[in-house]
């Protein structure tokens, strides 16, 4: 029975006669850009030939999916380009990342073909994946767009870091060599062991000052005692009345006695020696001050140089700004500038929408004729698969049954052969026995 098809007339080159060709399926589409885009969209051209009117629809859908892959490749190109990646690895890595995103988006959209509608659960799951991918693609493009501002912000952050480090070093290592007033945070990293500290001289000065103060106190005590004794002798000689005084004017016995006691005390108090010691200590302090001035200047220069070397070493250890540094700087810019914040989120939303657009388009669009054809084709494929499996199963079971029968027949034949061979052996044995008996009988008859 022939297949009934719709036909359409077509004139030949000479318009002499009409050719008849099937109306459906249509001729296969040429392998051009549209074919490639539909392949990206994951459609089956053999099924789409039945509804060629929908080729443009799926070409546009494939273009949307391709755009997400191109944006992902551009994003990776911008990200790697800011890290001095060799050009030999830059382009292949960007293309590979774009291919990965393209493949993932293609799977998201291809999985919806042939269905009568996308359920809410599947739509939300696919939309969440698309949003996540859009955010991943958007961040490198944001860093590329604000690259100059980001680099400036990173420079400011590193300058602040070095300034804070230097101020901590200066606070933990005073130029005077004395202990820091505020030692909080002065860990081993911040304490410098610079030789030539004036600290020993400062300690010597403190000890000398204590010695000087003691000498001054001792001299002051001697002078006070001398003054007291002289005042008492003067009052006695002047005839002043009072406790311990006679009240007699003139140089009497008591007056001479008190003056003598004062002279003895002055002689025994070693007042001149005490003054000499005080003068020596004072001179020593003056000498220490001169030494401290010289040593402190050299020590301050050494500490300043050590701090500068330490800061320079830390600056050299700072690596080239990485991705985390750039993201942190962009976040700081967004916090400080409303325009940057608005633009960054607008770009993120734009890329998220672009990446989620295929899924959103599929959800909002009605099921196409291609979806119905593909759905029925899948049902038929499942039935054919089941029938094919049953046919192969029946054939395999039949073959096994035949093999079993052949094996059983072979076993029966072998058994019959064995039994026949047994009967032949038994017959031969019986014949031999009969012949032996016959020979024995003949011998017996002959003997008789």
Give 372-418 pLDDT, tens digit per residue.
Answer: 888 888 888 888 889 889 899 999 999 999 999 999 999 999 998 99
Strand bridging mode 7-11 / 18-22: antiparallel
Mean of pLDDT values over 344-363:
77
Kindly give the interhelix angle for 147-172 and 120-145, rounded to the nearest 10 degrees.
70
Q: Which residues pair with 445 in a beta bridge?
A: none
Mean of pLDDT values over 119-136:
74
Owning domain of residue 308? 177-317
Query: How confident is the model at residue 20, as a pLDDT?
Result: 57
Q: Is residue 151 part of a domain?
A: no
Q: Is residue 161 part of a domain?
A: no
Q: 101-133 in b/e burial notation, b at 16+ Cβ within 10 A?
A: bbebbbebbeebbbeeebeeeebeebbebbbeb
pLDDT exceeds cutoff 60 at 327: yes
Q: Is residue 323 part of a domain?
A: no
Largest Cα–Cα separation, the chain: 207
Q: Is residue 11 part of a domain?
A: no
Rounded CA separation 155/238 (Å) = 89
257 and 192 both lie in a single domain = yes
CA 88 from centre of chain: 25
Tens digits of per-residue pLDDT, 225-272? Answer: 888 888 888 887 877 777 767 777 777 788 888 788 888 888 888 888
Query: How confident is the model at residue 411, as a pLDDT?
Result: 92
Q: Is residue 54 part of a domain?
A: yes
Q: Is residue 15 part of a domain?
A: no
Sign of the four-CA dihedral 120, 122, 125, 127: negative
pLDDT exceeds cutoff 80 at 123: no
190 and 312 both lie in a single domain = yes
Mean of pLDDT values over 48-52:
87
50 and 95 both lie in a single domain = yes
- The whole-chain average pLDDT of the chain stands at 80
263 and 246 both lie in a single domain = yes
Sign of the four-CA dihedral 423, 424, 427, 433: negative
113 and 240 both lie in a single domain = no
Q: Is residue 137 part of a domain?
A: yes
In the numeric block, the tokens 């002065």 are attached to 186
Contacts for 388 with CB less than 8 Å, ≥ 6 apart:
none
Q: Is residue 2 part of a domain?
A: no
359 and 436 both lie in a single domain = no
Domains of the chain: total: 3
Query: How confident is the model at residue 3, as a pLDDT?
Result: 38
187 and 306 both lie in a single domain = yes
197 and 312 both lie in a single domain = yes
Query: How confident is the model at residue 19, as a pLDDT?
Result: 52
102 and 233 both lie in a single domain = no
362 and 372 both lie in a single domain = no
CB-neighbour burial class of residue 166 (10 A; exposed 0-12, middle 13-18, buried 19+): middle
In the numeric block, the tokens 């990342």 are attached to 97
| Side-chain-facing half-sphere of 129: CA atoms under 13 Å | 14
70 and 91 both lie in a single domain = yes
289 and 416 both lie in a single domain = no
pTM of the model: 0.49
In the numeric block, the tokens 């850009």 are attached to 33
């Amino acid at each position: 029975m022939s297949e009934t098809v719709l036909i359409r007339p077509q004139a030949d080159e000479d318009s002499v006669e009409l050719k008849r060709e099937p109306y459906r399926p249509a001729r296969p589409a040429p392998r051009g850009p549209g074919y490639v885009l539909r392949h990206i969209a994951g459609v089956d051209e053999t099924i789409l030939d039945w509804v060629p009117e929908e080729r443009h629809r799926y070409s546009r859908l494939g273009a949307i999916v391709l755009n997400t892959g191109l944006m992902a490749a551009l994003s990776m190109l911008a990200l790697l380009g800011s890290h001095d990646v060799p050009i030999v690895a830059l382009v292949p890595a960007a293309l590979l990342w774009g291919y990965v995103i393209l493949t993932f988006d293609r799977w998201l959209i291809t999985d919806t073909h042939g269905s009568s509608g996308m359920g809410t659960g599947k739509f939300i799951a696919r939309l969440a994946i698309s949003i996540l991918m859009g955010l991943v693609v958007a961040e490198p493009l944001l860093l590329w767009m604000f690259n100059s501002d980001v680099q400036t912000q990173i420079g400011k952050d590193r300058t602040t870091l070095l300034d804070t480090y230097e101020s901590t070093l200066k606070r933990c290592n005073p130029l005077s060599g004395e202990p820091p007033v505020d030692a909080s945070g002065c860990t081993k990293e911040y304490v410098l062991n610079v030789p030539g500290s004036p600290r020993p001289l400062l300690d010597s000065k403190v000890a000398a000052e204590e010695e000087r103060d003691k000498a001054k106190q001792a001299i002051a005590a001697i002078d006070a005692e001398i003054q007291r004794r002289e005042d008492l002798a003067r009052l006695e000689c002047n005839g002043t009345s009072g406790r311990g005084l006679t009240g007699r004017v003139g140089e009497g016995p008591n007056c001479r006695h008190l003056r003598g006691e004062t002279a003895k005390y002055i002689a025994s108090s070693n007042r001149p020696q005490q003054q000499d010691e005080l003068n020596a200590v004072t001179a020593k302090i003056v000498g220490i001050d001169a030494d401290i001035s010289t040593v402190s200047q050299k020590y301050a220069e050494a500490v300043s140089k050590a701090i500068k070397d330490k800061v320079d070493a830390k600056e050299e250890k700072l690596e080239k700004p990485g991705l985390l540094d750039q993201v942190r700087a962009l976040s700081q810019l967004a916090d400080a500038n409303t325009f940057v914040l608005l633009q960054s989120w607008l770009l993120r939303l734009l890329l998220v929408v672009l990446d989620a657009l295929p899924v959103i388009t599929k959800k909002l669009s009605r099921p196409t004729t291609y979806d119905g054809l593909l759905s029925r084709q899948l049902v038929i494929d499942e039935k054919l698969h089941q029938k094919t499996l049953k046919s192969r199963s029946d054939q395999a079971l039949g073959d096994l049954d035949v093999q079993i029968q052949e094996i059983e027949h072979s076993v029966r034949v072998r058994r019959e052969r064995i039994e026949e061979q047994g009967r032949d052996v038994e017959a031969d044995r019986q014949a031999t026995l009969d012949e032996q008996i016959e020979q024995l009988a003949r011998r017996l008859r002959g003997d008789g």
